[in-house]
Amino acid sequence: MTKKPADSKATRSRIVGSKSPAETARAKLRSTTPDAVSVSLTVNGARHALALDPRTTLLDLLREHLDLTGTKKGCDHGQCGACTVLVDGRRINSCLTFAAMYDGAQITTVEGLAKDGALHPVQKAFIDHDAFQCGYCTPGQICSAVGLMAEGRARTADEIRELMSGNICRCGAYTNIIAAIQQAMERS
């Protein structure tokens, strides 16, 4: 009877210490992961210095690294506005931007709008007008409305509608959202 040769491929690999296919795949994956970049930014008044994968979006930085889950991930493609935050006072879709681009910036999320225990006028107006149903779009709507007011370009309901059109509400609470923003504008 013929004996199986002792020096099969697997045995030879173990003897010479070469990597298994799984180890080779893991090493390849590690070699394609970019080096971390240092990012320092201020979020809701608190300074954060982080080492991040440069592909980290601002939205994932907020939700996954800082546990600020008020900002919502809806589409993750710049289509719904659920992820709207303020960067140096300007509203942006945080899912569409890399955190590393905002080194040194001041970020405000919905968690940072209330001051000294008092709601921001836009937050209060949303409650007064019952401007939400499920609430998923609400943090983005509120941050977007704060940015809209700072821009100073909307005066009429139609202008508010047009300039808030990037914020989708799947519950269709638009009538109350517009009323809430009008109230906040009148009282500011």
Which positions from 153 through 182 interact with ligand FES, judged by CB under 6 A? Answer: 169-171, 173
Q: How far is the CB of 71 from ligand FES (least distance, A)?
A: 9
Identify the CA nearest to 45 among candidates 125, 114, 136: 114
Told to check if 80 binds ligand FES by CB under 6 A, we report yes
Closest CA to 59 of 82, 90, 34, 35: 82
Query: How many residues sit close enough to ligand FES to count as binding (CB under 6 A)?
Result: 23
Residues 26-45 that bind ligand FES (CB under 6 A): none
Residue from the set 76, 105, 111, 119 that interacts with ligand FES by CB under 6 A: 76
14 binds ligand FES (CB under 6 A): no
Of 166, 154, 16, 18, nearest to 91 by C-alpha is 166
Instruction: Give the residue, chosen from 85, 86, 95, 99, that forms a contact with ligand FES under the rule CB under 6 A.
Output: 95
85, 108 Cβ separation under 8 angstroms: yes
User: Shortest approach of ligand FES to residue 77 CB, angstroms?
Assistant: 6
Tokens 């836009």 belong to which residue? 122
Closest to 59 in 3D by CA, of 75, 46, 47, 48: 75
Interface residue with ligand FES among 36, 75, 101, 150 (CB under 6 A) is 75
- DSSP annotation of 154: -
By CB under 6 A, name the binding residues for ligand FES: 73-76, 78-83, 93, 95, 132-138, 169-171, 173
